[in-house]
Structure formats: C-alpha cells, structure tokens
C-alpha cells in the first residue's frame, strides 16, 4: 500500500504544477538549430567573362624582292575589333578570341624601277584569332604560363583600286606558340603581356599590284606576285588596364606581328591598256616580309 500511495501523491503533484512549468517554458529562448550541411556557403563561380571593343591604329607593310628589284606597299589602317575572354581561376587557364576589320585604309606603294611613291586608299585588312592559355606559375599578384593559338590575317591594302579587281590580297593561316603573363596592381589596375613565335604560317593569295616600266612584247606596266608558300615569324602584345568600376576595364597598349621566309611566287605581268593579256613567270623570291604594328585602346565589360 505504501508504494501505491507514493505514486498517487507524485501524480497529483505533477498535475498541480503543470501550469507553472508551462509558463516557465514559454520564457526559455528558442534553442539554436544545428549547423547546415553546407556550412561554408555556396562556392564562388571560378569562371570570369570579358567582352569588349578595341580600336587598333595600325601601320602595315608588305615587301617582295627578286634579284636587285623590290616592291613595297605600306598602309595606315583603322581597325575596329570585337574580343572575348573566359578565365577559369580554378585551373589558371583561359580561352580568348578576337576579330577585327579595317574601317579605313590608305597608303603608298613603290618599286625601285619606277620613280616616286603612288598612293592608294580603301582596301581590305582584317584578322580573326583564338588562343588557349595556361598560367600555372606565380601567385595572386602575378601569374605566367604558355599559350597556343591560331590566327588568320587578310592583307589586301590596295584592293579598292579599279585596275586590280581580279586580285584578292594575301591570306595567312598562322600557328602561335608563346608565353603569356599577367600582373595585378592591386584592385585598380593590371598589366597583361604575351610574346609568341609563329613557327609555321601558310601564305596564299596575291601581293599588291605595282606599276613598272613597260617591258616586253605585251607592253606590261603592272606586276603582281601570287604566293602559295610557308612562312614564319613572331607576334607580341602589351596592355595596361585600369578598372574604374568592378565590372569595367579600360586598356591601352600596343601590338605587332611579323612574317617572313623563302617564298615561291608567280609574277604576273599585265598591261593596264589590255588587262586580258598577261605573262606569268614562276620564281623563288629572294625575300618576302610583311608586318603590322600599332596602338590599341580597349573598353571591356567584366562579369
């Protein structure tokens, strides 16, 4: 009987004090929940994107020589470019692509067999290229690595001349192998640089058409070289970037490329009075060279 009485007393006591305990429990603050499964938060996207426009003020030249005779065309071209870049910060790599076309071109061509320089305007100057870069060396402030890329060049500075509409200029398909680097100057600025060799480039098409004295039986006074041969060279670019806002970059700098090599060519002699009549002479040029260099101004969005 005694245990039964004690149990009944405990039941009565708990029933009597239940309202008091309930009131006290309401005043206890809510317990802190457990940590979330992803307590470190969402990982940052390692991919960074750039898209923008460039203005390329460029000076270009093409020169061929056979024996003691040479012909040279020089131009000034104002090129508008579109470019894009994707950077993977996790792997320290990037891909980039760009394309540009001259909005205006003018220049001169000359030979040692005709006096003075003759002027031309118009023409077709353009380029398209893409690179893959990998920069595994360095730290957060400076990184360096290698690049491999492809570049296509269209060089026809005197295309607009009425007497050479049958010629299409030079087309170049080039392989680029080189070194690329980037230095961050705090959050406000950066410097990017690349130097690339061009171990192989295929050049096809035609050189500018040059005025010459009238030799031979067909009274030729024009000569054009058609080329289908390999070349080699180098290229480089250096840019200083300023970041006025988090998503905007202004860059200024310069770029240059150069190609040369022993080149097989056909020299086509024509007469401006009778352009349907021509004489073709196959030859190995003693020299062939083409280059373009100039200043760059860039406006790029980053996101």
Q: Is residue 142 in a domain?
A: yes
Q: Is residue 4 in a domain?
A: no
Which two three-digit tokens encode residue 110? 């000359």
Q: Is residue 28 in a domain?
A: no
Q: What is residue 48's predicted lDDT score, i.e. its pLDDT?
A: 93
Q: Please, is 151 exposed, middle or buried when counting C-beta atoms within 10 Å of its C-beta (0-12, 13-18, 19+)? A: buried
Q: Is residue 283 in a domain?
A: yes
Q: What integer best gives the mean pLDDT of the chain? A: 84
Q: What is residue 6's predicted lDDT score, i.e. its pLDDT?
A: 45
Q: Structurally, how many domains does the chain consist of?
A: 1
Q: What is residue 160's predicted lDDT score, i.e. its pLDDT?
A: 62
Q: Is residue 73 in a domain?
A: yes
CATH number of residue 170's parent domain: 2.40.128.100
Range from 75-79, 116-120, 169-173, 243-247 carrying the lowest mean pLDDT: 116-120
Q: Is residue 26 in a domain?
A: no
Q: Which residue has the higher pLDDT, 48 or 217?
A: 48
| Domain range for 213 | 47-302
Q: Is residue 1 in a domain?
A: no
How far apart, in whole angstroms, are the C-alpha atoms of residue 303 and residue 224? 48
Range from 36-50, 105-119, 179-193, 285-299 carrying the lowest mean pLDDT: 36-50
Q: Is residue 210 in a domain?
A: yes
Q: What is residue 42's predicted lDDT score, i.e. its pLDDT?
A: 58
Residues 6+ apart with CB under 8 A from 158: 73, 107, 109, 120, 122, 123, 164, 208, 209
């Amino acid at each position: 009987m005694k245990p039964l009485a004690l149990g009944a007393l405990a039941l009565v006591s708990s029933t009597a004090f239940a309202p008091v305990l309930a009131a006290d429990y309401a005043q206890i603050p809510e317990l802190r929940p457990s940590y979330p499964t992803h307590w470190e938060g969402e990982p940052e996207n390692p991919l960074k994107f750039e898209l923008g426009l460039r203005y390329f003020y460029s000076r270009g030249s093409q020169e061929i020589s056979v024996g003691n005779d040479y012909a040279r065309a020089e131009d000034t071209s104002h090129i508008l470019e579109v470019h894009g870049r994707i950077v993977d910060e996790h792997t320290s790599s990037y891909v980039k692509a760009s394309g540009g076309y001259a909005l205006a071109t003018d220049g001169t061509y000359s030979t040692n067999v005709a006096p003075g320089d003759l002027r031309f305007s118009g023409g077709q100057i353009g380029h398209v290229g893409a690179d893959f870069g990998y920069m595994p060396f360095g730290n957060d402030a400076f990184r360096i690595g290698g690049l491999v890329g492809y570049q296509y060049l269209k060089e026809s500075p005197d295309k607009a001349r009425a007497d050479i509409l049958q010629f299409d200029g030079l087309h170049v398909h080039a392989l680029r192998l080189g070194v690329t680097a980037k230095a961050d100057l705090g959050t406000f600025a950066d410097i990017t640089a690349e130097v690339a060799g061009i171990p192989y480039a295929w050049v096809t098409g035609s050189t500018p058409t040059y005025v010459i004295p009238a030799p031979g039986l067909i009274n030729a006074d024009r000569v054009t070289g058609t080329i289908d041969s390999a070349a080699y060279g180098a290229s480089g670019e250096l840019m200083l970037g300023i970041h006025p806002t988090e998503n905007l970059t202004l860059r200024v700098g310069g770029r240059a490329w150069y190609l040369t090599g022993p080149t097989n060519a056909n020299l086509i002699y024509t007469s401006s009075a009778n352009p349907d009549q021509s004489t073709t002479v196959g030859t190995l040029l003693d020299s062939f060279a083409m280059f373009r260099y100039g200043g760059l101004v860039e406006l790029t969005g980053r996101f």
